[in-house]
Amino acid sequence: MLLTKLAKKICQSKEYINGISLYKKKEWEKALLFFEKSIIKKTKHAESYFKAGICNLKLHRYEEAFKYISKALELEPSNIQWKEQLEQCARHLDKLNNHMVSKSSTEEDLLREKLNTDFNNPKLHDRLAEVLHKKGRWWQEVDTLKNAIKLDPSIPERYFKLGTALEKMGRFNEASIYYKKGLEFNKKHDAIWYYALGYSLESDETNNVENVRSSKIAYATAISLDKKLNSNKFGIGAFHQYKGRWAKAIDAYEKHTSINPLCAELYYRLGLSYDRCYQWDKAAENYRKALSLDENHPYWHYRLGFVLERSQKYLDAAVAYQFAAQSNIKHISIWYYRSGYAYAKANKYRQSCEMYIKAYDSSQEIYASQIKVIDNNDTHLNSYRKKLKYESRINTLESAISNSCINYGLWYELGKTYESSCNWNDAVIAYHEGIMRNNTYTKDYYYRIGYSLFRDGNYQQACNFFRKIEIFGTPYGAPDDILTKNLTFRRNATYTEFYETLSIEKNTILYESFHGASISCNPYALFLDIIDDQRFDNFRHIWVINNEKKIPEQLKNKKNVYFVSRQSDLYMQCLASCEFLINNVSFPEYFIRKKGQRYLNTWHGTPIKFLGKDIKDEFLAHKNVARNFLHTTHLLSPNTHTTNILLDRYDISNIFSGEIKELGYPRIDRTINLSSERKEYIRRKINANVYDKVVLYAPTWRGIHGKATLDIEKLKNDLEKLADQDCHIVFRGHHMIEKLVSEQNISGIT
């Protein structure tokens, strides 16, 4: 036991130890940075992956947490505690993937069934109203709450909920009636209830004198009862702000400035209300008034910087952000980041770099490039140190990379070594190679490239990489919590950000076969021709592959070939920036071909069964493939039959604007023209001798979109019958059922 603990401790990097220290303090974001660095140094250290996963879990980044903990379990598959944490991540991801919607639907059905036999139970109506409220079906919520009130009119909260639902529907007069009834029963006299009454009376289109008077009385009562919103100081605008009614807040705060003209926070609130209504100049004007009365609020300076940036006054914005960041007691990296971003927009690249470095230098290592040498006058010692520290290490790393080119951690270490020796250009190249091999978006890589370019005096290019430290660099100003709560939204938003901010990388080709299940089919046949063609010597080739184990050995150490996992951050970057795209099925729903990109879709066979709208599936199940075809610039078809099917059965025959060519299939060309050496290799691979007849059994896809099913008994019977024939049987399942087949342990299938 003691030896095991000692061995584990020896395996721990200093980054891991620093991460644990921060982890114990529950500083999840900072701890995560160190665990990520530990992973880069020790790519097989399971504990680092697990702890990085837990940090992401605590930060509600469930997809990233799932990836890291999965990797930890891959390295230590027997760890039960880690399996439990992985299951927890999976549950969170289920919720993120909108499984809560189906759960909600199920609950609604159950409640309605219960009401069929127990209609006079008001609590069932209450619960159904809650479910309907979450779905935004206000009209049904209204009817349900009215039923509950008929059964039991003594519960004040029901009137308030009914008033709220009616208010959502714009039925303000009716809402005010129920708010009044609720207040008759409510002995607590909640301020928010009187505010709701005042708002519904004020919003009623009749706008009669009595309603206006009653509204003012209700508002005054709300203010007198308020103990949370400080409305006695800021007026009814505080309630409007609390409810997110920013236009109303503007009117109320503007009027209140005449009552309290020297209140700094009142002007800040007014500025914030204009800010939320996208009236940037008015917001800036009022933020400045607030700061002229009280400048000791760093966040107010930050908000001023934000609205100035949104109105494209970049230099003023940069200064405001910088003042906010430097005057704040706590270091907030995103404030320095925004200052750097705005300085770059104002073409002040050196100042921009300085802000970016201040944003993240507290979490960065100090490399040898920033450490004084032993003795500047002793050339022998310096020469010795240089050879030992840098040249030998570089040679060691380059040798390791030649044997494991896809290991992004080795590239990162090489970049660090070059940076330590002040070899900025080679450091940039090595770090960039690391980025192109790491599916997870890692801030540290972009920081290090930016820092190296900065030290090399290339300030403008440095800014481009510093900006990429954050995926969402654009100043949206909207809350980003939805990014951790909704996986689909996060992917769509991430791809959109890359689409709008990344330029097209010349001489890059992205290949995808069967949604990343394999490196095969027509894209692979094309790739094999391209990779040996001297005209493409300066091209980079990026393959989408979800399982590294399926990468052909002969490709793993080609330095101009990269591998990305579908739906990863790196995948979305490549999809938004590669000049050429080749696919044999379809890219995800969020994909949009950029102007300047060329997209070749090869499809993957001659259809001899149902395809597109003929598949008996849910309505428009073929929509994403149709979208993809409409984005293609070139469509490859093996024959006229396939051309007609692809265009007609996907409903694009009259609107397809790309080029379509009937040229046969590259994969078939390679099969027919196999060399004798290749044929012999394949026979050895499948254990067939030169005299054996070889029959390929490859049944077509019989399922529906996104729902892989397998008739295991039919497959077994087919294989048994074929085994009786005088031939060597080779089975190849459709890519949609490969995983299901592998789980069945069928005799003869490997």
pLDDT greater than 60 at residue 104: no
pLDDT greater than 70 at residue 250: yes
Distance CA 217, CA 637 (A): 75
- Per residue in 462-496, pLDDT tens? 999 999 999 998 888 777 777 777 888 899 999 99
Q: Which of 480, 171, 463 is nearest to 318 (CA)?
A: 463
pLDDT greater than 70 at residue 408: yes
pLDDT greater than 50 at residue 635: yes
- Per residue in 46-100, pLDDT tens? 899 999 999 988 888 888 888 888 888 778 877 777 877 887 777 777 665 544 4
Kindly report the three-state secondary structure assignment for every residue of 218-279.
Answer: HHHHHHHHCCCCCHHHHCCHHHHHHCCCHHHHHHHHHHHCCCCCCCHHHHHHHHHHHHHCCC
Give the mean pLDDT of 542-552: 94
Share of the chain above pLDDT 70, in %: 87
Q: How many CA atoms lie within 13 A of 97 on its CB side?
A: 8
Give the mean pLDDT of 265-278: 97
3-state DSSP assignment of residue 209: helix
This prediction has a pTM of 0.76
Do 364-470 and 2-97 fall under one CATH topology?
A: yes
At 94 the pLDDT is: 62
- Per residue in 360-372, pLDDT tens? 876 555 444 443 4
At 561 the pLDDT is: 97
For 502-669, CATH gives 3.40.50.11820
pLDDT greater than 50 at residue 289: yes
Distance CA 110, CA 94 (A): 21
Superfamily of domain 364-470: Tetratricopeptide repeat domain (1.25.40.10)
Burial of 605 (0-12, 13-18, 19+ CB in 10 A): middle
Question: Beta partners for 224?
Answer: none
Instruction: Find all residues with CB under 8 Å of 216, minimum gap 6, and list them.
Output: 198
Judging by DSSP bridges, how do beta strands 578-583 and 659-662 pair with one another? Answer: unpaired
pLDDT greater than 80 at residue 587: yes
At 11 the pLDDT is: 60
- Per residue in 163-189, pLDDT tens? 999 999 999 999 999 999 999 887 777
Other C-beta atoms closer than 10 Å to the C-beta of 139 total 13
> Would you place residue 40 in the very low, low, confident or very high pLDDT band (cuts 50, 70, 90)?
confident
646 φ/ψ angles, rounded to the nearest 5 degrees: -60, -40
At 373 the pLDDT is: 38
At 6 the pLDDT is: 39
Query: Could you tell me the two tokens for 550?
Result: 């399926």
Q: Which residue type, as a one-letter code, is found at position 176?
A: S
Give the mean pLDDT of 509-523: 95
Q: Which of 463, 470, 467 is nearest to 353 (CA)?
A: 463
Mean pLDDT (the chain) is 86
- Per residue in 196-229, pLDDT tens? 999 999 998 777 888 899 999 999 999 999 999 9
- Per residue in 106-138, pLDDT tens? 778 888 888 999 999 999 999 999 999 988 899
- Per residue in 443-462, pLDDT tens? 999 999 999 999 999 999 99
At 3 the pLDDT is: 36
CA 20 to chain centre: 26
Q: Which of 663, 671, 666 is nearest to 638 (CA)?
A: 663
Lowest-confidence range among 112-126, 377-391, 646-660, 666-680? 377-391
CA 57 to chain centre: 15
C-alpha angle with apex 666: 665 to 670, nearest 5 degrees? 120
At 519 the pLDDT is: 96
At 42 the pLDDT is: 83
At 10 the pLDDT is: 47
More confident residue, 696 or 324: 324
More confident residue, 135 or 105: 135
- Per residue in 591-634, pLDDT tens? 999 999 999 999 887 776 645 444 555 544 567 888 998 999 99
Percent of the chain as helix, strand, coil, to the nearest 5: 60, 5, 30
At 372 the pLDDT is: 40
Give the mean pLDDT of 345-369: 80
**Topology of the domain comprising 2-97:** 1.25.40
155 φ/ψ angles, rounded to the nearest 5 degrees: -100, 110
Domain boundaries, the chain: 2-97, 364-470, 502-669, 675-742
